[in-house]
Amino acid sequence: MSYRKFKADYLFDGFKMLSGEQVLVCEKNGTIEAILDEKEAGGDIEILSGILSPGFVNCHCHLELSHLKGLIPEKQGLVDFVFSVVRERFVSEEIIRAAMAAAESEMRTGGIVAVGDICNTGDTLELKSGNRLAYYHFIELAGWLPELAIPRFENGKKLYHLFKEICRDEKHVSLNPHAPYSVSENLWQYLEDGFPEKTVTIHSQETEGENEFFISGEGDLNRMYALMKMDSSHYKIPGTRSVPYYLPKLKSAKNLLLVHNTYMPKEDIDLAKQFSENLFFCFCPNANLYIENRLPDIPSFIKQEVNGVLGTDSLASNHQLSILEEMKTIKKVFPSTPTPLLLKWATSNGAKALQFEDQLGDFTKSKKPGIVLIENCDGREIGSGTVCGRLL
C-alpha cells in the first residue's frame, strides 16, 4: 500500500501541538496510518510550511440563511437583528439554493469537514444529500405561545424524519429548543422526551436582555414580542437568570451545546460546567461582534477549563464561514489564548460535541479527519494564518 507523508513546521494532532520533527503518514484516501519521527518515516516526505491540523468542525451554523449575507445591518442588537431576519429571509428558492451551495463550498475550502447546522426548514435537504460535509442536523423549534406547541412540534417531527433519511441514522439529527425566551413550557414538555442519546443545542445568553427577562420580566425582549405581536401574559417569571431555568430541562441529553454565552457570568459558567461533563460552550465571536458588538469573557471560560468549541453562526451575522477567522478574532482580542487550545476547540472537541469523534477530529490511526494546512503563520501562532484548503 502506498502512503503520503507530510511534514510541516508544526503538527497539531487534535489534542496537542507536536514539533516539526514529526511526520504524518496517511493512505491516499486520507485515512490516518501513523505519526512518526522523521528518522523513522523513510523517504518521499512532502515538506510544508505552516501548521498541519485535522479538519475543522463548525459546531453552529445556519446554512439556510446564507442568502442574507450583507443584508442585515451590523451592531443593531439581537432584537432588531432577529426582526430583520424574519423580515428578509423569504426569497425565491433559486436564490436560497445558490447561496447555500456557495456557503458550503466556502466551508470546504476553509478546511471545515463537519457542521452542526440549525434547520428551521427543509431547504438544505437536497444540498446535504451530496455528503460533501458531515452534518449534525439540529431541527430547531420555536413557539412562545402555548397554543403553538402542538403544531410546531408536529412540524419539527416531520423535518426530523426527512433529515434522518439523508443521514441514514438517527445519531446525527435531533429536535432542539431555539432559545429559553422562545419556547413555551408546553413546547418544552414535548421536546424533552426526544433528548436521550442526542446532542441538544440552544442559543444561550446572547443578549443582556435575556437574563433581565428571566429575573424580572423586563427588558428589550418585550420589545421583540411586541414587534412580532406575541402575547406574553402566559409567562411566569422564574426570578433567576436563564441558565438555571433551562438546564434542568436538558438533563436527559447525551451532549449539550450552549451557543454564544456572550453575557454568561462566572456563576453560570460554574453551574453549567458542573451540570454535565458532556456540556460544550460554543463560541461564535465574529457573529457576536456583528450583532451585539461584544464578545464573551473567553479568559474566564478558559480559567475554568470548560469544553469549548467554535461556530460561525450564519452569513446573516458574519462576513464569512471560517473557523480559522473565528480563532483569529479570539487571538486578536484575547492574545494570551493558547493556539493549541483554540485548535482543540476547532477539531477534537467539536467532533466530540457533534458525536463524530469515532471518525473525525484528530489524527488517530484509522480515522479520516481531513488534513488542513494553515499557512503564513507567525511560528506556531495563527493570528496571520490562512488556510491552504484540505490536503486530503
d(CA 37, CA 100): 42
Number of H helices, E strands in the chain: 14, 17
Residue 207: in which H helix or E strand, if any? none
Strand partners, 310: 283
d(CA 36, CA 7): 10
DSSP-based helix, strand, coil % in the chain, nearest 5: 40, 25, 40
List Cβ neighbours of 14 (8 Å cut-off, separation of 6 or more).
Answer: 53, 54, 344, 347, 348, 361, 362, 363, 364, 369
d(CA 136, CA 142): 19
Per-residue pLDDT of the chain (392 residues; tens, 9 = 90+): 689 999 999 999 999 999 889 999 999 999 999 999 999 988 899 999 999 999 999 999 999 999 999 999 999 999 999 989 988 888 899 999 999 999 999 999 999 999 999 999 999 999 999 999 999 999 999 999 999 999 999 999 999 999 999 887 789 999 999 999 999 999 999 999 999 999 999 999 999 999 999 999 999 999 999 988 999 999 999 999 999 999 999 999 999 999 999 999 999 999 999 999 999 999 999 999 999 999 999 999 999 999 999 999 999 999 999 999 999 999 999 999 999 999 999 999 999 999 999 999 999 999 999 999 999 888 778 877 777 666 66
Instruction: Measure Cα distances from 163 to 102, 154, 196, 387 in Å.
Output: 21, 15, 18, 30
What SS3 class is residue 348?
helix
CB 212 within 8 A of CB 206: no
With CA atoms as reference, report the closest residue to 51 among 321, 340, 369, 310: 340
- Helix 185-192 and helix 149-167: axis angle, to 10°? 30
Q: Sketch the domain layout of the chain as residue ranges.
A: 3-52+381-390, 56-360
Strand duo 255-260 + 279-283: pairing: parallel
φ, ψ of residue 148 to 5 degrees: the values are -90, -5
Give all strands (DSSP E) within 55-188, no chain letters. 56-61, 112-119, 134-141, 173-177
Q: What is the largest CA-CA distance in the chain?
A: 73
Instruction: Measure Cα distances from 155 to 62, 159, 376 in Å.
Output: 18, 6, 47
CB 200 within 8 A of CB 255: yes
Cβ burial of 229 (10 Å; 0-12, 13-18, 19+) is exposed
Across the beta sheet with 386-390, the strand order is 17-18, 10-12, 51-54, 371-375, 386-390
56-360 fold: TIM Barrel (3.20.20)
Q: Where are the alpha helices (DSSP H) in 50-148?
A: 78-88, 93-109, 125-128
Strand duo 3-7 + 22-27: pairing: antiparallel
d(CA 59, CA 337): 20
d(CA 312, CA 95): 21
φ, ψ of residue 44 to 5 degrees: the values are 60, 35
Instruction: Measure Cα distances from 272 to 4, 37, 243, 267 in Å.
Output: 43, 41, 8, 9
Give all strands (DSSP E) within the chain, no chain letters. 3-7, 10-12, 17-18, 22-27, 32-37, 45-47, 51-54, 56-61, 112-119, 134-141, 173-177, 199-204, 255-260, 279-283, 308-310, 371-375, 386-390
97: its cell numbers: 439554493
| Torsion angle, alpha carbons of 119, 276, 360, 6, to 10 | 130
